[in-house]
């Protein structure tokens, strides 16, 4: 204990004697500020300094006793808490029972608390949760206050198709309104018109030598690995190939992946950017919360990796476009950038920002989705030896020499390959979720009246593997796509709802790059099976158990390749 300190103060009554208060010194910072609540109801508040302490004296009438202050503070706290509880309760009751969509079934907890679906998406489990909900509630599920998941084929023409006003997309604020995916109707038409020449049959024919050159390089690298006897990650090789192809078609040069056998640092940032998309939907759902977080944590309210990946991806694109524009005269080969640059000087000219936005999108859509599809094809073929043998036999009997394997020939002469491709699109669609649309007029789907302002989509991985649409839906069997399965009533697949599978969407906003994607898929798959026998390694037997962030999060797909004819 410290030495005693005596503090004197005067009351308002000059006749009253001077009062004294004895305190004991205790550890405190220099010049500590203490409030002493005295029993007197009237005295002149003064500040006294003694030793290293400072004392402010206030009348008790101006500063209530502790127990009174505690009651006041508790009351002040209870009011906002009670208001919050009341708001949550009334909002929950309205969302579940009084909402215009209350007649549509769905999980009540998700309807009451929309954050649950965002958490599921961020965890990469939204497709699994939606599968569970549809198994419980039927083909139309309400899984948010105004959000529906629909797995019937009628959603395609009614929501995405022609013949009606285009429904607005539901996009996160982080999306780019200057690309063909997120643009309004007017700009979308401009972008599509600018890109159509490159994606036409004539454009694809002009690009074929470039594409074949990279496929040649892939086969050469795989042959080296096969002859060494080592296992290899096919996911990596497919990604290296598709990124090199699309990089050259957009920017005039590849990423060098097939040469270096390593991912370019830009490719790594693209993977991170894709994975962050659900996070930006969450930010849009709770803008006030994130504004507060931005104030409290200006540098860290968004994970650093997310922001760094977005910025790095944008910077890489800007630099690559600038380099291409500086040497525009050296090109003119009917690639994707040439197609957009031909609008320069006209009324439909694309600005530099629009070039950047569309180049960004084409880079991701033209590489990751094709690589994902080829990876899934390799896995499911290796898991189904009879299917693999039949497809390999078809490829090797259709061509006398490897040079005959061209884009045109693989598109016309391989019907069983087409069946395999359709089945892979069904059981392992590269785009897992659906593109959400918002209704502007009432619409009837699946027996339900859906009011305006409803967000709805068809989650492809859910719809395509539902027993409501397909017999034995989790079984990989290309036979369900053969003509006899469609016409023979005795076939177990006769009643399959094949129209629900729309690999590249439908309507005015269907995928403009479908011709290029099919060409790459068929060409790479045919060349692979022409040259090699494939075997899946034990560590990749459960490869298909994946999380999904718009597209699948693929692990390594380890395979052993044997050169055709027993070599290697």
Q: Which segments are annotated as binding site for heme?
A: 511
Q: Which two three-digit tokens encode residue 459?
A: 């989650």
- Count of beta carbons in the 10 Å neighbourhood of residue 305: 12
Taking the C-alpha atoms of residue 72 and residue 68, their distance in angstroms, rounded to an integer, is 6
**Is the backbone of residue 103 left (phi > 0), alpha (psi -120 to 50) or beta?**
alpha
**Is the backbone of residue 180 left (phi > 0), alpha (psi -120 to 50) or beta?**
alpha
Taking the C-alpha atoms of residue 370 and residue 364, their distance in angstroms, rounded to an integer, is 10
- How big is the CA angle at 496 (ends 491 and 502), to the nearest 5 degrees? 140
Nearest 10 degrees: Cα torsion 31, 32, 33, 39: -110
Query: How many residues make up the chain in this entry?
Result: 568
Q: Which two three-digit tokens encode residue 152?
A: 């019937």
Dihedral pair phi/psi, residue 335, rounded to 5°? -90, -175
SS3 51: coil
- Count of beta carbons in the 10 Å neighbourhood of residue 378: 24
Taking the C-alpha atoms of residue 150 and residue 460, their distance in angstroms, rounded to an integer, is 10
Q: Are 531 and 223 in contact (CB under 8 A)?
A: yes
Q: Which two three-digit tokens encode residue 142?
A: 């309400």
How far, CA to CA in Å, does 445 sit from each of 455, 457, 464, 509?
13, 12, 18, 20
How far, CA to CA in Å, does 81 sit from each of 69, 297, 439, 482?
19, 24, 36, 63
Instruction: Identify the burial level of 440 via C-beta atoms within 10 angstroms of its C-beta, where 0-12 means exposed, 13-18 middle and 19 or more buried.
Output: middle
Dihedral pair phi/psi, residue 378, rounded to 5°? -60, -45
Q: Tokens 């290293």 appear where? A: 52
Binding-site positions read 511
Q: Are 108 and 279 in contact (CB under 8 A)?
A: no
**Could you tell me the end-to-end alpha-carbon distance of the chain, in angstroms, rounded to an integer?**
87
């Amino acid at each position: 204990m410290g030495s005693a300190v005596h503090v004197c103060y005067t009351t308002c009554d000059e006749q009253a004697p001077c009062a004294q208060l004895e305190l004991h010194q205790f550890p405190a910072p220099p010049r500590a500020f203490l409030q002493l609540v005295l029993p007197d109801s009237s005295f002149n508040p003064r500040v006294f300094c003694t030793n290293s302490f400072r004392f402010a004296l206030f009348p008790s009438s101006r500063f209530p006793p502790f127990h009174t202050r505690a009651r006041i503070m508790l009351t002040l706290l209870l009011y906002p808490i009670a208001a919050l509880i009341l708001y949550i309760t009334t909002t929950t009751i309205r969302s579940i029972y009084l909402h215009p969509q209350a007649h549509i079934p769905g999980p009540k907890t998700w309807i009451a608390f929309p954050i649950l679906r965002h958490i599921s998406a961020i965890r990469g489990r939204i497709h699994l949760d939606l599968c569970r909900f549809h198994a419980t509630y039927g083909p139309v599920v309400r899984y948010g206050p105004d959000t529906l998941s629909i797995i019937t084929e009628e959603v395609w023409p009614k929501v995405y198709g022609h013949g009606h006003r285009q429904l607005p997309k539901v996009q996160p604020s982080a999306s780019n309104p200057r690309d063909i995916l997120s643009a309004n109707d007017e700009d979308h038409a401009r972008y599509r018109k600018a890109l159509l020449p490159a994606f036409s049959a004539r454009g694809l024919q002009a690009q074929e030598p470039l594409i074949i050159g990279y496929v040649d390089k892939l086969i050469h690298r795989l042959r080296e690995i096969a002859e060494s006897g080592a296992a290899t990650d096919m996911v990596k090789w497919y990604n290296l190939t598709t990124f090199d192809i699309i990089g050259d078609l957009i920017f005039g040069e590849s990423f060098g992946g097939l040469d270096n056998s390593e991912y370019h640092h830009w490719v790594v940032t693209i993977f991170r950017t894709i994975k962050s998309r659900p996070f930006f939907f969450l930010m849009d759902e709770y803008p006030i919360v994130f504004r507060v977080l931005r104030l409290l944590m200006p540098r860290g309210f968004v994970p650093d990796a997310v922001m760094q990946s977005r910025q790095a991806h944008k910077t890489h694109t800007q630099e690559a476009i600038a380099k291409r524009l500086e040497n525009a005269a050296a090109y003119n080969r009917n690639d994707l950038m040439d197609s957009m640059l031909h609008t320069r000087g006209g009324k439909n000219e694309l600005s530099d920002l629009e070039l950047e936005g569309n180049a960004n999108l084409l880079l991701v859509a033209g590489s990751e989705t094709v690589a994902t599809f080829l990876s899934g094809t390799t896995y499911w073929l290796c898991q189904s030896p009879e299917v693999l043998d039949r497809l390999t036999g078809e490829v090797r009997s259709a061509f006398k020499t490897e040079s005959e394997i061209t884009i045109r020939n693989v598109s016309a002469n391989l019907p069983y390959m087409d069946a395999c491709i359709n089945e892979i699109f069904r059981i392992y669609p590269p785009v897992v979720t659906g593109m959400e649309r918002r209704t502007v007029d009432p619409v009837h789907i699946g027996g339900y009246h859906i009011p305006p302002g409803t967000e709805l989509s068809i989650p492809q991985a859910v719809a395509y593997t539902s027993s409501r649409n397909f017999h034995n839906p989790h079984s990989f069997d290309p036979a369900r796509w053969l003509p006899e399965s469609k016409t023979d009533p005795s076939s177990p697949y006769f009643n399959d709802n094949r129209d629900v599978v729309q690999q590249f969407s439908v309507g005015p906003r269907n995928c403009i790059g479908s011709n290029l994607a099919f060409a790459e898929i068929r060409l790479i798959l045919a060349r692979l099976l022409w040259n090699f026998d494939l075997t899946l390694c034990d560590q990749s037997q459960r490869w298909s158990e994946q999380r999904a962030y718009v597209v699948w999060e693929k692990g390594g797909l380890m395979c052993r390749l044997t050169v055709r004819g027993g070599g290697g």
